[in-house]
Amino acid sequence: MINRIRTIRKEKGLTLAGLATACTPPTTPQTIGRLETGMRTLSIDWLNRIADALQVAPEALLESERDEAVMVVAKLTEAGAEPLTAPREAPEPIAMLGNGPLSVMEIDAMAGEYRVGDRLWMRHIAPHDRARAINRDVLVPRPGGRFAFGRLIDFSDDMVALLPPGAGHRQIVVKEPAWLAQAVLLIRAL
């Protein structure tokens, strides 16, 4: 993954060793070097650790280095594509996801409105925010390292009920889930 760790690290006057020591918990300079060059995957956990050490927002490590911002120039209406009267800068996808831990689910088989190749970005939500996720697609861990995915149709303090995508599926009830992640962004290649 292309990132801006090296650029920001050098702007802040840090060496590989200095950034490695500033991470919580500390890591090695070799690990930082591998993350900078893409030789090691930059997970959400690493992204957050390094951003904290550099005292920048995590999305700053992923912003492109384009000279010009990507602009929203048109909108699709019932009458067709129309220009915006005042074009505006498009938000970076990672900034659209909000706060909280993230997970990504890849779609390998058609399921409801999802197509093969889709990537669904999910934001973990606190138990007290579950009401906001009613009638939204969620991912929930199940015992044995499995997951349940579907539309959240009911919940209580110790269970959630989901309706899987597609026709003919029965409701899934997960008791005492460790977490719940709500779908917030669909990435689909055209």
Sorted by where each begins, the domain ranges of the chain are: 5-61, 98-187
The pLDDT value recorded for residue 150 is: 94
CA dihedral over 190, 107, 41, 50, signed as positive or negative:
positive
CATH 3.40.50.2300 fits 98-187, yes or no: no
Superfamily of domain covering 5-61: lambda repressor-like DNA-binding domains (1.10.260.40)
Give start and end residues of each alpha helix (H) in the chain: 5-11, 16-22, 29-37, 44-54
Give, as one character, the DSSP assignment of residue 4: -
Q: Is 122 helix (H, G, I), strand (E, B) or coil?
A: strand
> H-helix or E-strand containing 161?
strand 159-163
CB contact at 8 A, 55 and 75: no
Question: Using CA atoms, how far apart are residues 76 and 99, in angstroms rounded to an integer?
Answer: 29
Question: Using CA atoms, how far apart are residues 185 and 92, in angstroms rounded to an integer?
Answer: 12
Question: Using CA atoms, how far apart are residues 190 and 129, in angstroms rounded to an integer?
Answer: 33
CB burial of residue 63 (10 Å; 0-12, 13-18, 19+): middle
C-alpha distances out from residue 161 to 59, 62, 104, 169, Å: 33, 36, 21, 13
The pLDDT value recorded for residue 66 is: 52
The pLDDT value recorded for residue 64 is: 56
Q: Which residue positions in the chain have pLDDT lower than 70? A: 1, 63-69, 91-99
pTM over 0.75: no
The pLDDT value recorded for residue 92 is: 66
